[in-house]
Chains A and B, each alone.
Chain A
Amino acid sequence: MWRLGLAASAVATMAFGQAFTFTIGSPVASQDSRSKMAAFVFRVEGCAEPASAQVGGTAEGLVHGARTSVALKLTPMSRPGVYAVFPTWPAEGDWVVNLNGTCARERAGALIPIGPGGFIRVSSKFLPRPATAPEIDTALQTLSQGRHP
């Protein structure tokens, strides 16, 4: 049975021409005025039924040298598979948004650093699985040391 699922997943991937992943953008990309106050928006890609993809995440922070984690507020927008991420993390400290998702049997993850001017697109990382703890720590250290463009 799992072979059948795997085959179906492979067929879906081929049909869409890409693996399951996320695309991020500024709030205006959602074409939904409710996202105005969001930190950023994202959409699921390579998923046959974007609305059925399971998405979640946390904001991972480094505040006064201490690691902390805050639940994310993901709000579905009017278009299927598009979500707004509203800032639920404090202003102080360095923060990286850790997204993860599942579509059928596929998984995806993303690490999006948050700078003073908002999300840092060029330093964001997109993974075919949820980010690991060391990957999150590295992203936070890079952010806190100001090594992002």
Chain B
Amino acid sequence: MSVIEANRGAVVAGAREGAGRPLFEARDISISFGGIRAVDGVTFDVREGEIFAIVGPNGAGKSTIFNLISRIYEPTGGRLIFQGTDITNVPPHMIAGRGIARTFQNIELFEHATVLDNLLIGRHCRSHPNILKELLFTRGVVEEELRNRAAVEEVIDFLALANYREQRISGLPYGVRKVVELARALCAEPKLLLLDEPASGLNTEETEEVAFWIEDINKDLGITVIMIEHDMSLVSAVSNRVLALNNGRTLALGSPSEVQSDPAVIEAYLGGDAE
């Protein structure tokens, strides 16, 4: 089944079983580096089909939460639950296979490979490499390659990357790299997509474009999205709920307008009341 079709199926299934049940839960997670508690007892849940935003000043622990979810960091406390199963002890390379894909704040693409190869690496968790068969390049390997390519081409169509297919990442402009990274994450057929500052470094039009894409990914592909973002206009335009963090602790959790008017959030951004 194709990426797009597979996910459409999931949307229908989700609607039938009643959307809105939690897809991902973070229960009281904490991590400290030396004496600093980067994330300190944060609890939230992300419902199926939702766009969930995490905001907060620099150093609030937003990206640390992403790194905890992708299991790059080992939490010092708390649990991570995905689709009802505990993933706190799943090794980091198994996370993609479970259905969680991500992008990085400072784009982490494979610089010296083409866009096509980058996206094909995105298919890694959906392929079944067998080294001996690969050395002989057997029919099975060829067929799997063709299937992977077909899946990748769908994502290329979806994000309009056809013009860049054969180009190396090192020659691409920043905005395109952002889209390629998003495409690479989609190639892994995720159920949950983690976007770390999808609009950072983009101009106004590009940001609007990203907003459309996030909505399309959410509505058309049925992928649940957690995004870290500083651009509040983007956050309030696309997200259903917002988690505000400061110094690793939860400040507020609720709809974008609730969070924006929360006194604790205003204080964290603008400083305390100077009376």
Are A and B part of the same complex? no
